[in-house]
């Protein structure tokens, strides 16, 4: 094989290696990492809520969390945050789940529905024996504080 042929082969192998490393970095499986958004600027949109479960932690006073499964309607939706709304001492609690999507309308998105599972913290400011109403997205559930 000539030197020119060897150099061509080495350059090709190096290029394939660089592409493979870039692909591996983009698909590292880290669910907590926010991928680089395609399409530039992103805006927040309310996420659909599939289900939620109230979790009472064994502590004194009891602490309350909510495990939430929310929807990612297509490949452009990324989970962003939870917004917990509750007036001091109120028995009504509302959680809104937010995703982000590209601000531009011309971004192509995969039509694959996904979900995000995470936990929102409600804290421990609950009066034992009192009924509370929790609304997450379009779903509502009542519970009695311990």
pLDDT at 10 over 60: no
- What tens digit of pLDDT does each residue of 19-77 get? 444 444 444 444 444 444 555 899 999 999 999 999 999 999 999 999 999 999 999 99
pLDDT at 3 over 80: no
Q: What angle do CA 10, 14, 20 make, to 5 degrees?
A: 145
Residue that wins the pLDDT comparison between 6 and 118: 118
Residue-range domain boundaries for the chain: 1-30, 42-144
Tell me which residue of 39, 56, 44 sits closest to 83, measured CA to CA: 44
pLDDT at 103 over 50: yes
Q: What is the pLDDT of residue 67?
A: 98
Percent of the chain with pLDDT over 70: 73
Query: Distance (Å, rounded) from C-alpha 97 to C-alpha 4?
Result: 58
The answer to whether the CB of 122 falls within 8 A of the CB of 90 is: no
Q: What is the mean pLDDT of residues 135-141?
A: 98
Query: Distance (Å, rounded) from C-alpha 2 to C-alpha 6?
Result: 6
Residue that wins the pLDDT comparison between 90 and 14: 90
pLDDT at 105 over 60: yes
Residues 83/50/31/105 CA torsion (nearest 10 deg): -80
Tokens of residue 37, six digits: 């958004």
């Amino acid at each position: 094989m000539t030197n020119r042929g060897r150099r061509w082969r080495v350059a090709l192998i190096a290029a394939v290696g660089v592409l493979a490393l870039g692909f591996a970095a983009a698909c590292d499986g880290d669910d907590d990492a926010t991928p680089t958004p395609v399409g530039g600027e992103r805006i927040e949109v309310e996420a659909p809520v599939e289900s939620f479960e109230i979790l009472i932690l064994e502590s004194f006073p009891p602490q309350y969390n909510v495990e939430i499964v929310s929807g990612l309607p297509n490949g452009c939706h990324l989970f962003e945050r939870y917004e917990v709304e509750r007036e001091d001492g109120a028995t009504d609690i509302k959680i809104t789940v937010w995703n982000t999507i590209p601000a531009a309308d011309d971004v192509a998105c995969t039509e694959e529905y996904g979900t995000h599972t995470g936990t929102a913290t409600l804290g421990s400011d609950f009066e034992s024996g009192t009924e509370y109403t929790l609304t997450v997205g379009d779903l509502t559930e009542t519970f009695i504080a311990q």
